[in-house]
Amino acid sequence: MKKISINNIIKFRLKSDKSQKGFLSTISKEVEIKSEGGGNYWVRSLSAMNNAIRLNSTEPIKDKITELLGLFVPSLTNQTKDMYQRNLNILYNYEDFDFSIWLPKNYEIISKTNKKSIIYIETIPVQITPSQIYSFEKDGKQYVGAIWFVAKLEGYNLAELGMFAEALFIYLANNLDQNSYIFPQNCLVIDVLGKQEISYQDLIDDKVPAILTSTLKLIKNIK
């Protein structure tokens, strides 16, 4: 297995015991279907959300709405129209949103260019792709935080969002500057379709179950 995304780990959990091994074999050979849990299907809305965080401004969202509306032409297939409309629905949700409530004061965006996005957990190569990572100072200490926007047509439950949060914390721990600390409350996952949000602090407080590691142990034993 070259890598496995969090979305495919979630799909694995939904499979029956009999079909789990076959599913792992399939994803080892194929590229993840982009229309399912992220990737190209949601790129227009998620990229605008990313830029909104980077700039702490809603302007990228407003600009993307204008751009998407201009793409609606009579020749579009229904499938493409649906994709554009679903992306627009996300953008409308956050058109006038105050992004500062998700962020600390005076944060600085950190480049992901030299960060490891594939991290071995329980010997399984897990692909972890946060939307933005950043640093900030609090009480005289240097902290890092991250935000991850996710979307899926049928939505995520809290335990599934918890898997993203757990992965996000592991990502930060593996890419952390030795002089920085991880701030669990700023290890944030946003379901932009369901308008749900959880942080790694929710896992620490047992508000959301931590099931990523146990699932990866099961995958390790099956594969």
Given this model, what pLDDT does residue 27 score?
83
The C-alpha atoms of residue 55 and residue 217 are separated, in whole angstroms, by: 39
The 3-state DSSP class for residue 111 equals: coil
- The continuous run of DSSP H or E covering 45 comes out as helix 43-55
CA atoms within 13 A on the CB side of 51: 15
Given this model, what pLDDT does residue 17 score?
87
Maximal CA-CA distance, the chain: 58
DSSP state of 130: -
CB-based burial label for 30 (10 Å; 0-12, 13-18, 19+): exposed
Given this model, what pLDDT does residue 146 score?
97
DSSP state of 131: S
The answer to whether the beta carbons of residues 32 and 152 sit under 8 Å apart is: no
For the stretch 79-93, what's the b/e string if a residue is b when 16 or more beta carbons lie within 10 angstroms of its beta carbon? Answer: eeeebbebbbebbee
53 token code pair = 């965080």
The C-alpha atoms of residue 70 and residue 215 are separated, in whole angstroms, by: 43
Given this model, what pLDDT does residue 34 score?
43
Given this model, what pLDDT does residue 30 score?
59
How would you write the pLDDT of the chain (223 residues) with one tens digit per residue?
789 999 999 999 999 988 998 998 888 765 544 434 445 899 999 999 999 999 999 999 999 999 999 999 989 999 999 999 999 999 999 999 999 999 998 999 999 988 899 999 999 999 999 999 999 999 999 999 999 999 999 999 999 999 999 999 999 999 988 889 999 999 999 999 999 999 999 999 999 999 999 999 999 998 7
